[in-house]
Amino acid sequence: MGNLILKNGLKAYQEKRYRDALKYFNKLEDDEKKNYYLGLTYVRLNDYDSAIFHLKNYLKKETDYQFMIQVMMVLGYIYAQKEDYVKSKMYFTRSLQLDFNNSKAYAALGYIYYKMRNFHEAIKSLKKAIEIDERNATAHNSLGYIYADISMKLEEAVKECEIALKLSPNYPAYLDSIGWVYYKKGNLKKAKEYLSKALDMMPDNKEIREHFRNVIIKELTKKKEKID
């Protein structure tokens, strides 16, 4: 009976019927499995407080390192979404204590350090992520974006963003990053080209819209300066 409930719950989860999945997972008698699957499902529903409750309960009993690493990574992601960067950093760091070669965890830490305005540690973590896995597109993109955002090593920033795009062509977040790099380099034509593509793919993204707006304002300012 338990296996059938789990099977139906997983089927609903995979089909993105998350409310139905919750009904099945709540019927599970195994507390460890129940907390694990309920936690993951609540993440999909953006109910982060419920997700935290179940995932933390799961960690109290779980001893399998691989599952513990996964859950700690998810908790790190949740706290990043809640903008609680101290707790997010704590969980990503804990995951690295169990697996010090986790490229994704280092990349995530790079983002958290960036949000905490600790650029030195952000760059250090992202370089470590790339050292472990040179195909980590997120790490390459984040490194390029941070260089651009703090107006540092802009030529290297272009290269990092180009690597990310080569690994994941036409990914809007990466198009936005390289567009922002070119904006910082003063190449408004290329900046507008990449940011336009990103905006077409994610028209409601606030950050992309803001970057594109900066390019337009800069263009208008330059035209006005020529007229004056």
Grouping H, G, I as helix, E, B as strand and the rest as coil, residue 85 is: helix
Give pLDDT, residue 46. 96
Residue 65 pLDDT greater than 80, yes or no: yes
Using CA atoms, how far residue 124 sits from 81, 83, 142, 156, 183, in Å, is: 22, 21, 12, 15, 24
What mean pLDDT, rounded, does the chain reach? 94
Provide CB contacts within 8 A for 20, sequence distance 6+: 12
Burial class (CB in 10 A: 0-12, 13-18, 19+), 160: buried
Average pLDDT score over residue span 45-53: 97
Residue 227 pLDDT greater than 80, yes or no: no
Provide CB contacts within 8 A for 162, sequence distance 6+: 178
- The radius of gyration computed from the CA coordinates of the chain, to the nearest angstrom, equals 21
Q: How far apart are CA 75 and CA 90, in angstroms?
A: 10
Please report, to the nearest 10 degrees, the dihedral formed by the alpha carbons of residues 31, 45, 79, 211 taken in order: 160
Q: How far apart are CA 185 and CA 202, in angstroms?
A: 24
Q: Going from the N-terminus, what domains does the chain have, and what CATH number goes with each?
A: 1-62 (1.25.40), 80-133 (1.25.40.10)
pLDDT-based confidence at residue 90 (cuts at 50, 70, 90)? very high
Give pLDDT, residue 48. 97
Residue 225 pLDDT greater than 80, yes or no: no
Least Cα distance to 129 among 152, 110, 153, 148 occurs for 110
The per-residue pLDDT for range 138-184, each reduced to its tens digit, is 999 999 999 999 999 999 999 999 999 999 999 999 999 999 999 99
Give pLDDT, residue 1. 58
Give pLDDT, residue 79. 98
